[in-house]
Structure 1
Amino acid sequence: MAIVDKHKLLEQVEARSELTLELGCGARKRDPKAIGIDALDHEAVDIVGDVLDVLRQLPDDAVASVSSYHFVEHVEDIEGLMRELARVIRPGGKLLFVAPHFSNPYYYSDYTHQRPFGLYSFSYLAEDRLFSRRVHNYQQLNAFEIQAVKLIFKSPRPFYVRYGLKRIWQLLFNLNTYLMEFYEENLCYLFPCYEVRYQLVKKGGDSPA
């Protein structure tokens, strides 16, 4: 699909010292300072186009941070996305993904979803020193290191009582990585998790605090 740069931001990339991107931002950007990229033209979107195509327009090591909220589950070529992000994010740059957990029953209602995610999903695509369970990195994608993973428990409106109960589960299961791994192996279908939050850093620079 054609790229529509609504504010001519691609021409200004090299002049920005702290370039931040929000992928698949939809109708609302979480970070108002970020450049919002989406295939659908909403008011909050700065660049309309396929995310991979837009990333290919950026120079190497140009981006300080990238975030996405419920976008990555729509991506068919996840390995291609990680390669492009590894190219455009500078050493020490930050990467944030929030995606549905595989036990989330609402995940399967959306036919545009390509895949759900679990604790170890990005352990196949980045260096993981957090978890006891070791997994394969099939494509040797090791440009990033996983800094943190968090299980998020919640219920959508109007289920406020359930939401409060699930916040207690969230506090419990995120106490340490042992409990996170125990939960996902043994309890995830008894107490479904809504989403997973991943924080990664591009290797080769000073790790962010």
Structure 2
Amino acid sequence: MAIVDKHKLLEHVEGRSELTLELGCGARKRDPKAIGIDALDHEAVDIVGDVLDVLRQLPDDAVASVSSYHFVEHVEDIEGLMRELARVIRPGGKLLFVAPHFSNPYYYSDYTHQRPFGLYSFSYLAEDRLFSRRVHNYQQLNAFEIRAVKLIFKSPRPFYVRYGLKRIWQLLFNLNTYLMEFYEENLCYLFPCYEVRYQLVKKGGDSPA
């Protein structure tokens, strides 16, 4: 699909010291300072186009941070996305993904979803020093290191009582990585998790944890 740069931002990315991107921002950007990229045009979107195509327009090591909220589950070529992010994010740059957990029953209602996510999903695509369980890195993608993973429990409106109860579960299961791994192996279908939050850092810099 054609790229529509609504504010001519791609022409000036090399001059920006703190370039931040929000992928698949939709109608509402979480970070008002970020450049919003989405395949669908909304008021909050700065660049309309396929995210991979837009990233390919950026120079190497140009981006300080990238975030996305319920976007990555729509991506068919996640390995290609990670390679392109590894190219454009500078050493020490930050990467944030929030995606549905595989036990979230609402995940399966959206026919545009490609895959759900779990604790170890990005352990296949980045260096993982957090969890006891080890997994294969099939594509030898090691440009990023996983710094934090958090399980998010909640219910949508108007289920406020359920929401409060699930916040208690969230506090409990995120106390340490042992409880996170125990939960996902043994309890996830008894107490479904809504989403997972991943924080990664591009290796080679001095970004704080």
1:72 aligns with 2:72: yes
1:94 aligns with 2:110: no
Aligned length: 209
1:116 aligns with 2:116: yes
Q: Give 1:117 deviation, angstroms.
A: 0.0
Post-superposition Cα deviations, 1:127-176, rounded to whole Å, max 9, x if no partner, equal 00000000000000000000000000000000000000000000000000
CA distance in 2, matches of 1:82, 1:208: 21
Q: Give 1:207 deviation, angstroms.
A: 2.6
CA distance in 2, matches of 1:91, 1:48: 27
Q: Secondary structure at the match of 1:96?
A: strand
CA distance in 2, matches of 1:114, 1:202: 25
CA distance in 2, matches of 1:51, 1:192: 30
| Structural mapping, 1:111-190, within 5 Å | 111-190=111-190
Q: Secondary structure at the match of 1:184?
A: helix
Unaligned runs of 5+ in 2: none
Match of 1:201 in 2: 201
RMSD: 0.4
Post-superposition Cα deviations, 1:75-107, rounded to whole Å, max 9, x if no partner, equal 000000000000000000000000000000000
Post-superposition Cα deviations, 1:59-83, rounded to whole Å, max 9, x if no partner, equal 0000000000000000000000000
Post-superposition Cα deviations, 1:20-77, rounded to whole Å, max 9, x if no partner, equal 0000000000000000000000000000000000000000000000000000000000
CA distance in 2, matches of 1:107, 1:65: 27
Identity percentage over the alignment?
A: 99
CA distance in 2, matches of 1:129, 1:208: 15
Q: Secondary structure at the match of 1:158?
A: coil
Query: Under a length normalisation based on structure 1, what TM-score does the superposition of the two structures give?
Result: 1.00
Unaligned runs of 5+ in 1: none
Q: Secondary structure at the match of 2:127?
A: coil
CA distance in 2, matches of 1:208, 1:97: 18
Q: Which runs of 4+ in 1 moved over 6 A?
A: none
CA distance in 2, matches of 1:43, 1:185: 41
